[in-house]
Structure 1
Amino acid sequence: MTLSLVVVDDQASVREALAVMLDLADDIDVVATATNGAEAVDAVAAHAADVVLMDLHMPVMDGVEATGRIKTAAPDVQVVVLTTFDDDESILAALEAGASGYLTKEADRAKIEQAVRSAGAGQVVLAPEVQRRLLTLATRRARPVKPTFTLTAREEEVLTLIGEGLRNPEIARRLVISEATVKTHINNLFAKAGFHSRADAVRYALSTAGPGE
């Protein structure tokens, strides 16, 4: 399967370098580039993109607003943020807007390519430093959101590990269960909670984390 990708960055040198680099991958097809969020929204609609590699701070329309508009118009399109900013406000704003990935521009070619592939497969992609920040933020949440559904103890464990950014094989090893069992628990908790992606699960897990968890 070839993923169609839109590359968004207001710096021409960065945008063009990313486009050329990623288009070399056999399974990634860069169908458009954009210099700001407004152009990104139009490009996604025009080219039916699978994934968007999104900068955050841009003129006309920033990456957060563009992400929200893209996800509203086309929920199946996955957005991976690639930015120099890894502050709490930027990370949370992007994830709340619907981004399923967040990398800093320190990431190398292999990591960026894999992030695009993982996002295209519906997986959450978070740089290690971003995961650490999110976990720190989660422990500071003073008012957990009261769930409107009931999960089993094992489903709660799986949800917590998803919130930490772990993938199915890692969750299986942590809980000493098979990957098939992990998938069953994920399917069950997604059905109960109405989640549509792992990004939904990550956001929910972070919003319900209480102090000290």
Structure 2
Amino acid sequence: MGESETATIVKVGMVDDHPSPVWGVDRILQSQADLRFVCSAATVDDLLRKSSDLDVVILDLRLNDGTTPRENVERLAGLGIETVIYTSGEHPDLLRSAARAGTLGVVLKSASEEEIVRAVRAAGAGQEVLTTEWAAAIDGDPNLAGVDLSPQLQRVLTLYASGGTSASVGHELGVAADTVNEYLKRIRQKYADAGRPTRTKIDLFKRAVEDGWLPMPHRSRRS
């Protein structure tokens, strides 16, 4: 269908806990008749409180509220909202976890205005945002499909890898410590089957970060 006065408008939101990138993207999209910048917020929760009537969300890779790219992408996808990761290009593990969750691509914060507009249009049409950075994130991950964990196994992994014991995790989940140990055996086996062994508790923590179940530990540098 050609462009016309009845052409679909892509409604865009942005999640970033720094104002400068938001101002920049808002200004870029203002001149595009088919793209409408609706709202922004520092967290996905705050954004959705403002509006869930969005087609695309431009999502900062690392947020200060402790949420992971994976959970943010999955939450928005559950509402039918596509995402594009907006980042300086660091933290490939986090990019890959976002890829596993279904984000359509990544745009660097150093990208040109034309690249940003192209990315939003592509995402609005449900198409992958094809960039060198996105290809590198995907090609660099031989296990892009990741390890499929049930919600219960995800919870066990995050609690245990965060420093819990079998007893404390069992108390949190209302199950016996022996049951937690059985869950951990299942988790370790799934990772072993994927060629990503977890011999130690630190290995479990690394896998939880790689797959987006836990946030990457904060450093002084931003995304």
Indicate the TM-score class for this superposition, using the shorter chain for normalisation: 0.5 to 0.7
1:53 partnered with 2:63: no
- Give the match for residue 120 of structure 1: 124
Structure 2 residue matching 1:125: 3-state secondary structure: coil
Q: How does 1:1-213 map to 2 (within 5 A)?
A: 1-45=8-52, 48-62=53-67, 64=69, 65-72=71-78, 74=79, 76-138=80-142, 141=143
Unaligned runs of 5+ in 2: 1-7, 148-193, 195-223
Look up the equivalent residue of 1:92 and give its one-letter code.
Answer: R
Note closer, same or farther for the CA distance 1:25–1:63 as it changes in structure 2 (3 Å cut).
farther
Relative to the length of structure 1, the TM-score reads: 0.58
Matched pairs, number: 140
Q: Could you give the per-residue CA deviations for residues 32-64 of structure 1, whole angstroms, max 9, x where no partner exists?
A: 11122322333442xx10111111211225461
Structure 2 residue matching 1:137: 3-state secondary structure: coil
Note closer, same or farther for the CA distance 1:29–1:61 as it changes in structure 2 (3 Å cut).
farther
Note closer, same or farther for the CA distance 1:137–1:35 as it changes in structure 2 (3 Å cut).
same
Runs (4+) off by over 6 Å:
142-145
Q: What CA distance in whole angstroms lies between the structure 2 residues aligned with 1:143 and 1:82? A: 22
Deviation at 1:116, TM superposition (A): 0.5
Look up the equivalent residue of 2:48 and give its one-letter code.
Answer: V
Structure 1 vs Structure 2 CA RMSD: 2.6
Deviation at 1:144, TM superposition (A): 9.8
Q: What CA distance in whole angstroms lies between the structure 1 residues aligned with 2:44 and 2:21? A: 16
Q: Could you give the per-residue CA deviations for residues 50-109 of structure 1, whole angstroms, max 9, x where no partner exists?
A: 11111121122546122221112x1x3110111113432111111122211212212111
Q: Which has the higher helix share?
A: 1
Structure 2 residue matching 1:71: 3-state secondary structure: helix
Are the aligned partners of 2:105 and 2:134 in contact in 1 as well (CA < 8 Å)?
A: no
Note closer, same or farther for the CA distance 1:136–1:56 as it changes in structure 2 (3 Å cut).
closer
Alignment identity in percent?
Answer: 26
Q: Is the radius of gyration larger for structure 1 or structure 2?
A: 2
